[in-house]
Chains A and B, each alone.
Chain A
Amino acid sequence: MDAPKLSVTQLQAGYGDVQVLWDVTLDVKPGEMVCIVGSNGAGKTTLMRAISALVPVSAGRIAVDGADLTGATPARMVAAGVAHVPEGRRLFGAMSVRDNLLMGAYLRPDKAGIAEDLEKVYALFPRLAERQKQDAGTLSGGEQQMCAVGRGLMARPSLLMIDELSLGLAPRMVDLLADGLRRVNAEGVAVLLVEQDVMNALELADRAFVLDRGRVTLSGPAAALADDPAIREAYMGGLAG
């Protein structure tokens, strides 16, 4: 069997004295789409930031393609093929859409490949091509999210981590983004998705992990979790049970 794309084992992390993650174990197989669901403050964003080496890890192990990368630098994680689309998008507002996308390829030396990937991102989200010379700060929320996802893809990742794909966006934009994500995933890029819209997330993903107060409380195939009465009760208000 292949080594998992990403494997996180008994991870503990937090900020100073405040521990947020307790023994979190999860994995993402090559080409798989996995989502993490959980309420506010469950540690979803911290988990992503720990994987990206933006938050120090106090115990546990993070491995990419079987290689131990615990305690690496953010640049090392990007080089290993893990791209992070952060919560709130974090674009460079005073830089053009095109420059924002090119910044995603900051660590790559292959100019031809970068130009090729830029065209791929424009093909994926034609809206970005139309607005490539505009400052990123002038885009709508949905377009900014497209730009952020596109910037992540410009690193040519084998695992794309997205923190809140749909938060605060118009339903039509969410559809466009979800569609784009499916296409990216179909090309073999593994996706780890944090999403507050649990229904949407479980519909998109192959597998899901439920994070509650810093611990993984449930995991399994997304379809099975979507039918789990406890999940429906907790995250979907028990509707249509």
Chain B
Amino acid sequence: MRDWLLLLLLALACSLLPLAGDNYVLRLGTIVAMYAVLAQSWNFIGGLAGYPSFATAAFFGLGAYTSAVLLSYGAPTGLAWTAAGGMACLFAALIGGAILHLKGHYFAIASLAVGEVLREVVNTTPDLTGGGMGMNLPVPKLSVAAAAQTFYFSMLALAALTTAAAIIVQRSRLGFGLRCIQQNEDAANILGVNAYGYKTAAFCLSAVFAGMAGAIYASWVHYIEPPDVFDILLAVKPLVMVLLGGIGTVFGPIIGAFLLIAFEELVWRSFLTIHAAMLGGIIVVLVLFMPNGLLALVRSGLARLRPAGPKP
């Protein structure tokens, strides 16, 4: 109940943003919402099931291209965005069958390869996707301000939807089973948890919303090309955001997305030449000093502030 209330308040607060800011702020808000979707998506497979996936970029790019191709054939926008999610989900189910038996680093490498393969596939099918030339998308007949608001609210709604899914999954049998798989897959199997089915479900959940985010992104920027939508940073940043906010939690990914983008805007842009090193620095600090993320840090701080209760 508390989670739902928090989600509602957060969504309401965020939908007030257009009143406060100009198009620059809206653009930033759209990016934060987009990364919140990606971080939340990664949390299903990486946070709950404990499988360090780098396939987020693959799902994002696949969604972007699926939607772009459909739109170029005249499909309505809503249908194209939904189909992008469906396509990413289907793809995750297929590819999951091939790589989800791998564990740890092996799974990470295999999932990293998925996006690279898709990028090459797009490069070699210029008739359908424009190949390396990229693809132009229809520009909506809206004023600049109206378009900025439309895409902000679309991305925000998707972030809310993804978070709602996260709340439902975390309390479900699936979430419980995934946490068991993360801690000890062998034991989960022994107790009758269908580990393979659950992992595939988590992988699909990590794909469907990322695919839709890619679709909305493509419509938003009007032009996509393989290096842009299959960018490895689209897989790395969500992971860092989840670690930053709190792995395996409902709101950690959102907090992480907000903080990392804020950090990017405030600090990175002053260090353009070494911004990759800055990201590396953040990862090192995260791993060394707060492996459970900010939420855990805040919680343990609160626990320390409270008067000591009776010993259990």
Residues of chain A at the chain B interface (Cβ within 8 Å): 52, 54, 73-75, 77-79, 84, 86, 90-95, 103-104, 106-107, 133-134, 151, 155
A237 to B177, CA, bound (A): 45
A151 to B188, CA, bound (A): 11
> Which of B92-100, B111-119, B179-187 forms part of the interface with chain A?
B179-187
**With A103-B180, A134-B312 known to touch, is A92 a contact of B187 (CB < 8 Å)?**
yes
How far apart are A100's CB and chain B's nearest CB, in angstroms?
9
Q: Contact check: which of B180, B189, B192 meets A92 at CB < 8 Å?
A: B180
Q: How many A-B residue pairs have CB under 8 A?
A: 53
**With A103-B180, A134-B312 known to touch, is A90 a contact of B194 (CB < 8 Å)?**
no
How far apart are A145's CB and chain B's nearest CB, in angstroms?
14
Chain B residue with the shortest CB-CB distance to A95: B183
* Cross-chain contact B312 with A90 (CB below 8 angstroms): no
Which secondary structure dominates chain A's binding surface?
Answer: loop
A220 to B149, CA, bound (A): 80
Chain A residue with the shortest CB-CB distance to B189: A74
Q: Does B257 contact A (CB under 8 A)?
A: no
Q: Which B residues are CB-close (under 8 A) to A54? A: 186, 189-190
Chain A residue with the shortest CB-CB distance to B196: A73
Candidate in A77, A79, A106, A155 with the most chain B CB atoms within 10 angstroms? A106
* Cross-chain contact A86 with B190 (CB below 8 angstroms): yes
Chain A residue with the shortest CB-CB distance to B186: A90
Q: Contact check: which of A90, A93, A133, A134 meets B190 at CB < 8 Å?
A: A90
* Cross-chain contact B192 with A78 (CB below 8 angstroms): yes
A91 to B184, CA, bound (A): 7
How far apart are A47's CB and chain B's nearest CB, in angstroms?
15
Which secondary structure dominates chain B's binding surface?
Answer: helix
Q: Which B residues are CB-close (under 8 A) to A94? A: 183
* Cross-chain contact A86 with B192 (CB below 8 angstroms): no
Residues of chain B at the chain A interface (Cβ within 8 Å): 176-177, 179-180, 183-184, 186-194, 312
**With A133-B312, A134-B312 known to touch, is A107 a contact of B192 (CB < 8 Å)?**
yes
A87 to B192, CA, bound (A): 17
Candidate in B180, B186, B188, B189 with the most chain A CB atoms within 10 angstroms? B189
* Cross-chain contact A75 with B192 (CB below 8 angstroms): yes
Of the A-B pairs whose beta carbons lie under 8 Å apart in the complex, a sample of 6, sorted by A's number, is A54-B190, A91-B184, A92-B184, A92-B187, A94-B183, A133-B312
* Cross-chain contact A84 with B193 (CB below 8 angstroms): no
How far apart are A52's CB and chain B's nearest CB, in angstroms?
6
A74 to B184, CA, bound (A): 15
Q: Contact check: which of B183, B191, B194, B312 meets A104 at CB < 8 Å?
A: B191
* Cross-chain contact A86 with B186 (CB below 8 angstroms): yes
A20 to B184, CA, bound (A): 24
- Which 4 A-B pairs rank lowest in CB-CB distance, beginning with the nearest? A90-B187, A78-B192, A75-B192, A92-B183
A204 to B189, CA, bound (A): 28
* Cross-chain contact B187 with A78 (CB below 8 angstroms): no
Q: Contact check: which of B176, B179, B193 meets A75 at CB < 8 Å?
A: B193
Q: Which A residues are CB-close (under 8 A) to B193? A: 75, 106
Q: Contact check: which of A91, A133, A155 meets B192 at CB < 8 Å?
A: A155
Chain B residue with the shortest CB-CB distance to A134: B312
Q: Contact check: which of A91, A107, A133, A155 meets B187 at CB < 8 Å?
A: A91
Q: Which B residues are CB-close (under 8 A) to A86? A: 186-187, 190
**With A91-B184, A134-B312 known to touch, is A151 a contact of B192 (CB < 8 Å)?**
no
How far apart are A150's CB and chain B's nearest CB, in angstroms?
12
Q: Contact check: which of A106, A133, A134 meets B191 at CB < 8 Å?
A: A106
Q: Which A residues are CB-close (under 8 A) to B189? A: 54, 74
16 new A-B contacts, CB < 8 A, other than A73-B194, A86-B186, A106-B192, are A74-B190, A75-B194, A78-B190, A78-B191, A86-B187, A86-B190, A90-B186, A90-B187, A91-B187, A92-B180, A93-B183, A103-B176, A103-B191, A106-B177, A107-B191, A151-B191
